[in-house]
Amino acid sequence: MQPSTDPRVLQLSQAFALFNDTSRALADSYQELERRAADLSQQLAAAHSARLRELAEKERLADRMQALIEALPGGVVVLDGKQRVVQTNAAARALFGQPLLEQTWPDAARRAFASMGDNGSLKLADGREFALSQQQLADAGRVLLLTDVTQARTLQAQLGHQQRLSALGEMSARLAHQLRTPLSAAMLYASRLGEGVLPSDIVTRLAGRICERLRHLDRLINDMLRYARAEHDGTGERVLASSLMQRALDNSGATQSGIAQVVVSDGCGDAQLLGNAGLLVAALGNLIDNALRFSPPDALVRVSARRLGGEVIFAVADDGPGVPEPLRERVFEPFFTTRSDGTGLGLAVVRSVICAHGGRVALTATSTRGAVFEIRLPEARAANALPAGGSVRLQQAVAESASSHDRRTQTITREFA
């Protein structure tokens, strides 16, 4: 049978052929979509399982962190960005003794703590002291850790007290030794005088030696009084640095003949110092006298003053034998001396005076041809105050002791005159 040549039949055949091709394409696409849907379902199930495991792990981690926070001996307080308490631990709840959630931290701290310590710690009414440390969070919140440091502070204070007692005992032992030597010599000479059968020239010589030993005791006691007064004197006055240096030179042995020549360089201008002028003059004069004592007669002692960075710097340089390396750290120790007639308190008094005025003194340079001692003191300003706030009662006791000692010395001097 011959195929129809009717155009409508041909069009219909072509339409059916196109429909069949489209159907096969749609069937193939549907099968591909089913395969991809199956793959995505498997991936989603795997991701869901991984997410569940991750959440479970985070929950376990959160539980462990919560248990750890609860077990901490210090109080933990977590704040949000508005300073509200959002989490606490058992130690914090016991410390504050009341619910803290949703309260603002300033209000909670104000109710719980009696005062703020000088070192930034918080103190309760019962005397317990807590150190406060904090860590910033990513959401503008904070984690506060309150640690009880009462016992640590107590132990630290006890240790400091024991160290001061130990230092006092050591100083007392050294002072007793320093006092015993000239006192024993004076007692020996006095016992010889008590025999009453000595020639007049020997009596005169023994009396002179007794006076010499008593003068040594007088210097030692005066140095000790200056040492104590420097540590506890909180009074101050304004004094020109140049005037202070000139007074120290006038009171020293710089004008005596047969000693080293003193060269002065004053570059401090109108700089003023705040403090006890008498003690500062004595301290600087002590350094000048030491430089003169250790320098040969044909040498130079250079005394200078300058301003630098808000400080007045005094320097005393000599051409003496210098300070040996093993002794450089000990020259400022009380009762340490290399001289047979020294009290060992000269440089210790200098350091005590300068430290009491907020300054420092140091052996800045030394060699076989001399040494340089340097004093640095802060310039006086409008609101300056001495850092050493001494006790008035202690100052009065020191002054009364010094006055009584002077009266006893004058009496002894008259008796031997």
**Whether residue 101 has pLDDT greater than 90:** no
Q: Which helix (H) or strand (E) holds 80?
A: none
CATH classification at residue 180: 1.10.287
64 and 86 in a single domain? The answer is no
Q: Global pTM? A: 0.45
Q: What percent of the chain has pLDDT over 70?
A: 76
* Contact present, 349 and 226 (Cβ < 8 Å): yes
For 4-30, how does the pLDDT look when each residue is reduced to its tens digit (9 = 90+)?
Answer: 567 777 888 888 888 888 888 888 888
Range of the domain at 95: 74-148
Q: Distance between CA 232 and CA 267 in Å, rounded?
A: 31
Indicate if the pLDDT at residue 158 is higher than 70.
yes
Whether 141 is covered by a domain: the verdict is yes
Give the DSSP letter of residue 250.
H
Domain annotation covers residue 395: yes
Q: What is the pLDDT of residues 282-336, one digit of tens each?
A: 888 888 888 888 788 778 888 999 998 889 999 998 887 777 777 777 777 776 6
- Looking at the fold, whether 297 and 374 belong to one and the same domain comes out as yes
**237, 229, 305, 303: which is closest to 270 by C-alpha?**
305
Q: Are residues 60 and 181 in the same domain?
A: no
Number of domains in the chain: 4
Distance CA 255, CA 279 (A): 21
Q: Do 388 and 340 contact (CB within 8 A), yes or no?
A: no
Assess whether 140 and 262 both reside in one domain. Answer: no
Residue 4 in any domain: the answer is: no
Q: Which residues are catalytic?
A: 177
DSSP alpha helix (H) spans, 126-199: 150-193
How open is the CA angle 284-286-291, to the nearest 5 degrees?
100
In a domain, 156, yes or no: no
